Amino acid sequence: MKSAFNRSIFAFAAILAVGTAGQAAAQDKPLKKYESGTKEFWTHPPDDWFLGDETEAQKGLAPPSGPPTGASEAELASLVKKIKLPPGFKIEVYAPGVLAARQMAWGDKGTLFVGSFGLGNVYAIKDNGGKKEVKTIIKGMNPPMPTGIAFKDGALYVINVNKLIRYDNAEDNLDKLGDGKVVYDDMPSYAAHGWKYLAADKDGWFYIPFGPPFNIGIPPTSVSQIRRVDPKTGNAELVGLGVRNSVGGDVDPRTGKYWFTENARDWMSDDTPSDKLNIISKVGEHFGYPYCHQGDMPDPKFAMGHTCSEFTPPVLNLGAHVAPLGMKFYTGNQFPAEYKNSILIAEHGSWNRHKYQGGRIVRVTADPDGKNAKETTFAEGWIEGAQGYLGRPDDIILDKDGSILVADDWAGAIYRISYSK
């Protein structure tokens, strides 16, 4: 198990970008192909598991590696000047030095908690007379994937692949958080796509996504699903099926229904299939993976006789390789009135595409039942050139004053976006 986690770290957190010799050599290699439908593959994925089912067209593409220490304050200052926003909006750096920052959650007393990807850190950010103090309150988690966090009834919750851990009275114990208490662990330890996200509903249950441990294949029955979990009792229900890699979702303030983003399979082409925004309207809905993508595209190998009409279509196709991650309904009062109940989605951006796209924040408006969904770009400018990242947005949270905070795991920073007339 340990080595499987290590592989995953290697694959995503510290991909070793090698020199041009490596690239030249890649041209002569045969296409990669995996038999990923075995337990051996799930528990011991090869280092390059995400390169599975390579195609001639996409050959040679791989996840890029960010700067080990994120962006410096000088780099961030120049970065935010390049971000384009609608009139009246402003972006600034809220906190630098939040390496590999992922999901954010507010404590009741104003502490911003932030998870991380690949580093095993959880951070607490306190306002110290206008200056943001970033404290690493959990270090060296194994596996190092505490990507999903939440805060409820004074407790910090951290989900790390196969453990949901509760740290009681967290804000008063930032310097001595302790080991916490595992409150739910009926989850497989598969590292690949095993990183998760937490979204609480009004009953205090968490929606939790489970990704398949590969690109495409018949998934283990314990994953490719959304569960709803009660952290008090450890009770859980299976609410969505046929889901690939989801790392973001939010409960609709209008209806209480769960909406979530989903990353579609790789290695088909630059422009297909599209990543999705979905809504769970009834318990146990099937969203198509691995049989059908983007609502209308049967998988060339894994459709296996199924047609797309058997599955719940997306609310909206967001585009291929945009990598939608964290999302929030806008419920604040600071932004213009038409933003109320819009969905803001942080797009992490491409790797399996020749010209990167995503790497921005989009705004989606839709009726409570998902009809009439429309997408507009809200914030962009994190991509330079065909394959250059300045940063990669991955989560959004509202601040008390109605501004939003955006986490970026490439630049290792939190931004604040605010509006004034």
Q: Which is nearer to another protein, 274 or 350 (CB)?
A: 350
Question: How many residues does the structure list for the chain?
Answer: 421
> What residues from 154 to 213 belong to the interface with another protein (CB under 8 A)?
none
Q: Which is nearer to another protein, 76 or 343 (CB)?
A: 76
**Given candidates 60, 110, 204, 284, which one binds another protein under the rule CB under 8 A?**
60
Which range in 42-50, 170-178, 212-220, 233-241 contacts another protein by CB under 8 A? 42-50
Which range in 177-185, 268-276, 371-379, 387-395 contacts another protein by CB under 8 A? 387-395
**Taking CB under 8 A as the rule, does residue 51 contact another protein?**
yes
Which range in 22-30, 173-181, 311-319, 320-328 contacts another protein by CB under 8 A? 22-30
What distance in Å separates the CA atoms of residue 166 and residue 391, rounded to the nearest whole number?
31
- Asked if 211 and 264 count as a contact pair (C-beta separation under 8 A), the reply is no
**Given candidates 36, 70, 196, 380, which one binds another protein under the rule CB under 8 A?**
70
Q: Which is nearer to another protein, 22 or 284 (CB)?
A: 22
Q: Which is nearer to another protein, 165 or 315 (CB)?
A: 165
- Biggest alpha carbon–alpha carbon distance for the chain: 62
In this structure, how many other beta carbons lie within 10 angstroms of the beta carbon of residue 234?
Answer: 13
In whole angstroms, how close is the CB of 52 to another protein at the nearest point? 10
- Asked if 416 and 405 count as a contact pair (C-beta separation under 8 A), the reply is yes
- For another protein, how many residues bind (rule: CB under 8 A)? 59
**Given candidates 1, 18, 283, 304, which one binds another protein under the rule CB under 8 A?**
18
User: What is the phi/psi pair of residue 360, to 5°?
Assistant: -165, 180
**Strand segments (E) across 139-215:** 148-152, 155-160, 163-167, 181-184, 199-200, 206-210
- Asked if 116 and 102 count as a contact pair (C-beta separation under 8 A), the reply is yes
Query: Which residue is listed with tokens 């959004």?
Result: 396
- Asked if 208 and 226 count as a contact pair (C-beta separation under 8 A), the reply is yes
End-to-end CA distance of the chain: 54
What is the amino acid identity at position 369?
D
Q: Residues 276-305 vs another protein: string with x where CB under 8 A?
A: ------------------------------
> What residues from 100 to 139 belong to the interface with another protein (CB under 8 A)?
119-121, 136, 139
- Per DSSP, the residues of 23-58 read HHHHTTSPPP-----SHHHHHS--TTGGG-S--TTT
Instruction: Summarize as ranges the residues that interact with another protein (CB under 8 A).
Output: 2-3, 6-11, 14-23, 25-26, 29, 32, 44, 46-48, 51, 60-62, 64-72, 74-75, 79, 97, 99, 119-121, 136, 139-140, 144, 384-390, 412
